[in-house]
Amino acid sequence: MELVLEAVGINKSFGSRGNVFPALHNIDFRIEKGEFTAVMGPSGAGKTTLLNILSTIDDPTSGTIRINGMTVQGFKEEELSRFRQEQLGFIFQDYNLLDTLTIEENISLPLALANIPPVDINHKTGSIARAFGIETILTKYPYEVSGGQQQRASAARALVTNPSIVFADEPTGALDSKSAHTLLQTLEGINKQQGSTILMVTHDPTAASFCNRVVFIKDGTFFTELRKGGQTRKQFFQQVVNVLAALGGGQIDAD
């Protein structure tokens, strides 16, 4: 399989001198093309810190991160900005849509910034909107639609450029269970049909059960991982719940 992301010996500390807090300890992490992976762990385990480092939002104190074989720490800020735009997609818990743009304009913004021809922008935006079931709200503004629809628009924006990897930080955290299920079902379908590579941080075992791999961390270190294989989603959910119980943390939301 093709390796999309590789992190070797990742350490991260906050603070200075006598007041240093070690957040991540010597983490090795690899993601292959087409994987839908969740990162889980108790509160304060370092999940979001790890995601921020892997997604180039933050720098590790030490260690190496390669995306598509390129060592991202060597990039200058301008190069890194262009790399994010061309290679990475982001889904945030709070949607991060622009209220002054329509849903369609929000989704197509990364394509416009990349100077994609208008005819291609229209085709790509329409196609991804249909995949997320939001083609009927494209002319509306974010404040005119539900939170679930906003998050699906945010996910569509993340995937419209066909990035090498999508990073999702608690994407269902602000959604009701029905909206969360719709979003996750769509992401799972796109992952299977288009081979999109997705890395998601979540506290919710129901959300994790849509993935094909779950990595658990505790106190900033690797704890264990699970792979779905041929299990049903409910069987995988129970496995995830059992590991969370062993970890001593995590919200248990029955499906």
SS (H, E, C) 66-110: EECCEEHHHCCHHHHHHHHHHHEEEECCCCCCCCCCCHHHHHHHH
Q: Domain with 90 in it: what CATH number?
A: 3.40.50.300
Give the angle subtended at the CA of 38 by the CAs of 35 and 43, to the nearest 5°.
165
Is residue 168 one of the residues assigned to a domain?
Answer: yes
How many domains does the structure of the chain reveal?
1
User: ∠ CA 99-102-104 to the nearest 5 degrees?
Assistant: 135
pLDDT tens, N- to C-terminus, the chain (255 residues): 799 999 999 999 998 877 888 899 999 999 999 999 999 998 889 999 999 999 999 999 999 999 999 999 888 989 999 999 999 999 998 899 999 999 999 999 999 999 999 999 999 999 999 999 999 999 999 999 999 999 999 999 999 999 999 999 999 999 999 999 999 999 999 999 999 999 999 999 999 999 999 999 999 999 999 999 999 999 999 999 999 999 875 444 434
Residue 139 lies in a domain: yes
Q: What is the pLDDT of residue 252?
A: 44
Q: Does a structural domain hold residue 19?
A: no
DSSP-derived 3-state class of residue 208: helix
Q: Burial-class residue 220 by CB neighbours within 10 Å (0-12, 13-18, 19+).
A: buried
Q: What confidence score (pLDDT) does residue 21 get?
A: 86
Q: What share of the chain is helix, strand, coil (3-state, %, to 5)?
A: 40, 25, 35
Residue 27 lies in a domain: no
Domain extent for 221: 38-45+76-248
Q: Answer whether residue 138 is part of any domain.
A: yes
- Residue 63 is assigned to a structural domain of this protein: no
**208 within a domain of the structure (yes/no):** yes
The answer to whether residue 66 is domain-embedded is no
